[in-house]
Amino acid sequence: MRSKQRMYKLCTVLVGMLLACSLAGCRSESTKTDATQLPQNLVKSGEPALQMLTEPGTNLFCRAQTEAGFYEVIGRGEKVQNIVYTDYATKSRVYLCNDPGCNHIDDSCPSFLDTRSIEQLFIIENSLYIQNSPTNLDNEPSQLIRMDLDGTNRKSVLTMETGQRLFGGYATDGEILYYTTMVYVEVPEAEQETNDGIEFHLNGMNLRTGESTELYNFGTNCIGDKIWVGCVGREMIFSDTVIPDPEQPKKVAHTYRAFSIDTQQWRDLIQEPIFEGAGIYADGMHIWVGTDGMTLNTLTYDTSEVRQTTLDRKIPLYATMDCVTDGKMLVFWAEKDQDTYVTVDLETGAITDGMFWVSKASGKNGVMKILASFGDEYLVDTDPVDVPQVFYHVDGSVERYTGEFWPQALISKEDYWAGKRNLTMIDDHVKA
Ligand SMILES: [Zn+2]
């Protein structure tokens, strides 16, 4: 259990991001690298459309894919992280390293990352970008590092000054890389109770020249409330979360605003009624269950329309939604020690049994997450097994232990959504 949980633990050091973390959704579809894969209605004529490179609503997204394979970052120690690659053609998972004798623990290895703070991974054309956001700003700057797809030829393309951190959302129109930062500002003592002293900035970097410009300053007190949920055409869509009644913190109101990268003007998209539960931001939509538990609401940013679909059966308001793609999503919840996993058809509201893994060791279940999408197949996490693992401490000592590991497999999209476990296992050389 250690390696995977540790990866997420290492990722969860950012301040005030609990809300955004809970909104993390399907991790495959937002990593498309080919703009032509965007739905046609999202591409406005003339200009290249913006493409979101990271998962909407979260700053923790250590995965990316090309048409050939899937990249992820795993943690193996206090200052040891590695890039791991699953190759679709050979159906194998390896360290991003060609040397069979390599331990992958120092700078000579192209899979090695001398840090514990990787929070974002994305691909533009033939370059892999990783965001490093250490919490101790005085010792190590927050950086965006670009490298070739084989992990070599590394260069820092963004290096933050002291008091500034890369925050996590990224999009591009092919020319400019759009990104957000947290900027720590001085607050007079009298205001310290009401001002968190952290500004949220939107910026653009010219991919060719490396020059950066600040596009908008959201001000302080909004980290966690202002969520970059997607892009439509040449506009970025931000959701604003408000809790109107402090006595009822679960009642949340959402508004949506669009920021044009051409005019740098804002326009209101929709004023949403108050509803319970956060729902999920994914695939150009905000999806949530109504208070009756029987109505599925889908707001599409492109049209600003909310569509309501009646569900086959009741879904509790606290249910978690995940893996929204291809017109379907996975929903799960625990009730009286009973874990339920269902697939919801967004169009019809039909509910069928969903995919989940089972741990033989612990007896626990979890969602069989979609990691990547290759043609008619998904790459998924499967039933965890206990394997020997190694943890590298910063003082040079090595700890050996047995921990849970989730082998990957390919499954046809049809079987996945039908809940049929016809899995083609990936040959794993990382944990094998
Ligand atoms: Zn290596």
Distance in Å, CA 104 to ligand 1 centroid: 4
Q: Say what the alpha-carbon torsion angle 243, 324, 85, 2 is, to the nearest 10 degrees.
A: 50
Q: Whole-angstrom Cα distance, residue 293 to residue 291?
A: 5
Q: How far is the CA of 92 from the centre of ligand 1 (A)?
A: 16
Closest CA to 57 of 24, 28, 29: 24
Rounded Cα–Cα distance for residues 161 and 140 (Å): 10
Which amino acid, one-letter code, is at 71? Y
Cα(210) to centroid of ligand 1, in Å? 30
pLDDT of residue 326: 92
CA dist 391 and 400 (Å) reads 6
Q: What is the mean pLDDT of the chain?
A: 84
Predicted local distance difference test score (pLDDT) of residue 41: 44
Q: CA-to-CA distance for 290 and 296, rounded, in angstroms?
A: 6
Q: Which residue has the tokens 């538990």?
A: 293
Separation between Cα atoms, residue 84 and residue 180, nearest integer Å: 26
Q: What is the pLDDT of residue 50?
A: 94
Residue 285 and residue 165: Cα distance in Å, rounded?
28
Instruction: Map 63-78 to HEC letters.
Output: EEECCCEEEEEEEEEC
Segments of the chain scoring below 50 in pLDDT: 1-44
Pairing of the two strands 370-374 and 365-367: unpaired
131 in Cβ contact with 118 (< 8 Å): yes
Rounded to the nearest whole angstrom, what is the distance from the C-alpha of residue 99 to the centroid of ligand 1? Answer: 6
Dist. CA 114 → ligand 1 center (Å): 13
Q: Looking up tokens 């029987």, which residue turns up?
A: 294
Spatial distance between the Cα atoms of 268 and 236, rounded to a whole number of angstroms: 12
For 112-154, write each residue's pLDDT tens digit: 998 778 778 999 999 999 998 877 655 778 999 999 999 999 9
pLDDT of residue 377: 97
Burial per residue of 251-263, b for 16 or more beta-carbon CB atoms within 10 angstroms, e otherwise: ebebebbbbebee
159: alpha, beta or left, given left = phi > 0 and alpha = psi -120 to 50? beta
Alpha carbon of 293 to ligand 1 centroid (Å): 50
Distance from residue 125's CA to the centre of ligand 1 (Å): 24
For residues 342 and 132, give the distance between their C-alpha atoms in angstroms, rounded to a whole number.
Answer: 36
Kindly state the DSSP code that residue 61 receives in the 8-state scheme.
B
pLDDT digits (tens, 9 = 90+) for 268-319: 887 666 666 668 888 888 898 888 899 999 988 888 888 999 999 999 888 9
The predicted pLDDT at position 177 comes to 96
Quick one: pLDDT at residue 29?
A: 36
